[in-house]
Amino acid sequence: MPWQPLDTDMPRMPASNDSRPLGQTAPGKGPCLIRQEPESEMCDRPYYQVARLDFPALKAELAVLPDSSLCVARVYGLDIESSRALTGLGFRKMCVQTLFATGLAGHQPDLTALPVVDLDLDEDSLNRHASNFRFSNFSFDPNFSTEAWAKCNRWCIKRHLADHTAFKFALKSGFVSFRVGEGKAIIDLISVLEARQGIGAALMAKVLDFCAAQGLAWVEVVTDCENLTACLFYQKMGFLLFGSIGVFHFHQSARQRTRGSKGVQHGRSFSHS
């Protein structure tokens, strides 16, 4: 099958906790920063996604953000120019996420079970799964304590499990959540508490069988490049490395505001599609 760029309707949540493929920002006019209310609740601070890479405009918007705000930006790994410009504005690269995809052409589904849209976890299981997501942009951010990013993990898991637009499979100590649309599936979360028991492979097989039976073209997933276990697992399941995404954080403070007023000047605007 011909490979095409993944979704370009950035921003979205990150995908080891909210592992969704992320594309470049949208071109055109409008605010560069969009406040995300659910994520603000999750982080206990104002949370903004960078929705447009117009760097002079972004610099002006950053300068008037309230203290303690968090801004998250994502750009493709090959976009070195934008990565440098974000760093010049005071953003810090937290992690690099890898994009994997597998085509379903020729896949003969063995559909033995259908996914559900409702999946509940008891508090103990929820806490154990939250601790299972050790790699994310929040876990690498020194402004988040271990307890804070564990809370973010719990919030992300509960949000996905409560999302009736997402399908879920559960097996023993593992579960997977994924969404279907536009001829493809996007895996949001997959977590297994008992390693090397074949649970992850069985869950992935259920996803691939269901998606192939639905006539979908391919399945996508994002994980952090530091998560070697996940990267090797996806490759073992037939996924191919498609690209990478740099995740950047900006924390607003009085000191950061002063630094930003003396920041790098950029002579042109950037917008990507």
Query: Could you report the per-residue pLDDT of 106-157, keeping only the tens digit for each?
Result: 999 998 889 999 999 999 999 999 888 888 888 899 998 888 888 888 999 9
* pLDDT on residue 12: 30
pLDDT above 90 (res 218): yes
Using pLDDT thresholds of 50, 70 and 90, give the confidence band for residue 3: very low
* CA 109/CA 210 separation, integer angstroms: 7
Determine the average pLDDT of the residues in 165-180: 95
* pLDDT on residue 132: 87
* pLDDT on residue 27: 53
Instruction: Tell me which residue of 185, 214, 215 sits closest to 20, measured CA to CA.
Output: 185
CATH assignment of 33-261, among 3.40.50.300, 3.40.630.30, 3.40.50.12280, 1.20.120.80: 3.40.630.30
* pLDDT on residue 29: 76
β-bridge pairing 167-171 and 174-181: antiparallel
* CA 127/CA 219 separation, integer angstroms: 28
What radius of gyration, in Å, describes the C-alpha atoms of the chain? 19
Using pLDDT thresholds of 50, 70 and 90, give the confidence band for residue 257: low
Tokens of 41: 């609740």
pLDDT above 80 (res 239): yes
Determine the average pLDDT of the residues in 209-232: 95
pTM: 0.80
pLDDT above 80 (res 270): no
C-alpha neighbours within 13 Å on the C-beta side of residue 273: 3
* pLDDT on residue 147: 87
Instruction: Write down the domain spans for the chain.
Output: 33-261
Share of the chain above pLDDT 70, in %: 82
CA 22, 28, 33, 34: dihedral to nearest 10 degrees? Answer: -70
